[in-house]
Amino acid sequence: MKTSKLFLTLTVFLLTAFLFIGAVSAETDSVGGSQGTFRVNCNAENATVTFISVNGDEYNMGQIKDGHLDVPVYLTATPFTQIRVESEGTSVTYDIKEYPKEGQTLQVTIDFPADSGDTKPIGGSKGTFRINCNIENSTVTFISVNGDEYNMGQIKNGYLDVPVYLTATPFTQIRVDGEGYFVPITYDITEYPKEGQTLQVTITFPTDPEDAPSNKTSGKTETTESTPGITVLGALSAVLAAGLISRRRF
């Protein structure tokens, strides 16, 4: 009898142990399991590719070689939300909107402003735009004459320095998206920095986002809500009319 109880206890213990080991193994497989690949295409050779997770952690994935970099990612790991590519002091940030499926290679293209054609090749003289802004973490976007948009980074400590090649396709506008503001401020570029020069550009948002015109409803606000006094008067009129009709019937 004692032997049977001991055997039963040992059997239950072993089954529990196997189930626990299986669960741990399955969890481990889920973390290091299925993979997909981001192929980051870029026209700037040797540009550095950084992936940024949903937690804000940054991971240097390597450099662009032969126009691209393949970055395998685990589909069950902490997801990435942005890709930043840096070259010659300029960075472009791409917001990840789609993830590759298992075994799939998802193409992502991040291009820097190209040479205008008949000018000196990129890599020549540079100047710098210093974007001053009173809203920390505002996103700065440069827009080229062709309408292409380039995310240059965010305002830190009140400014962002953006180096530009003076022989590349020129930028015509700077757009700043203020954190907490619905509509950005756009600045028309009327002057370019000279070689080695830092040109100051100041973008100022209202101190309170609620004071920004874009954050308020423009024009008059019409309401369909009835005034209490008028509503009561209407109800009394209806009752009185019903009483008069009732009297006429009798």
User: What pLDDT score does 212 carry?
Assistant: 57
**Shared domain check, 153 and 65:** no
Among 85, 77, 84, 29, smallest CA distance to 55 is for: 77
**Shared domain check, 122 and 50:** no
Residue with tokens 């309170």: 208
**Shared domain check, 90 and 123:** no
9 found inside a domain: no
| Domain extent for 73 | 35-112
Q: What is the pLDDT along the chain (250 residues), one digit of tens a residue?
A: 555 666 666 666 666 655 555 544 444 344 457 899 999 999 888 889 999 998 888 899 999 998 899 999 998 888 899 999 988 777 888 899 889 999 999 998 888 775 433 333 445 688 999 999 999 999 999 998 888 888 889 999 999 999 888 877 789 999 999 988 888 999 999 999 999 999 999 999 987 766 555 543 333 323 333 344 444 444 444 444 455 445 554 4
What domain count does the chain have?
Answer: 2
210 found inside a domain: yes
Structure tokens at 169: 């396709």
Query: Could you give the CA distance from residue 84 to residue 152 in angstroms, rounded to a whole number?
Result: 10
Among 158, 172, 168, 166, smallest CA distance to 200 is for: 158
**Shared domain check, 172 and 97:** no
Q: What pTM, to 2 d.p., does this model score?
A: 0.41
CB neighbourhood size of 228 (10 A): 8
228 found inside a domain: no
Query: Could you give the CA distance from residue 168 to residue 198 in angstroms, rounded to a whole number?
Result: 17
**Shared domain check, 131 and 50:** no
227 found inside a domain: no
Structure tokens at 207: 């101190």
User: What pLDDT score does 170 carry?
Assistant: 84
User: What pLDDT score does 147 carry?
Assistant: 85
User: What pLDDT score does 161 carry?
Assistant: 93
User: What pLDDT score does 46 carry?
Assistant: 87
Q: What is the DSSP string of 185-221?
A: EEEE----PPTT-EEEEEE---SSGGGSGGGS--SPP
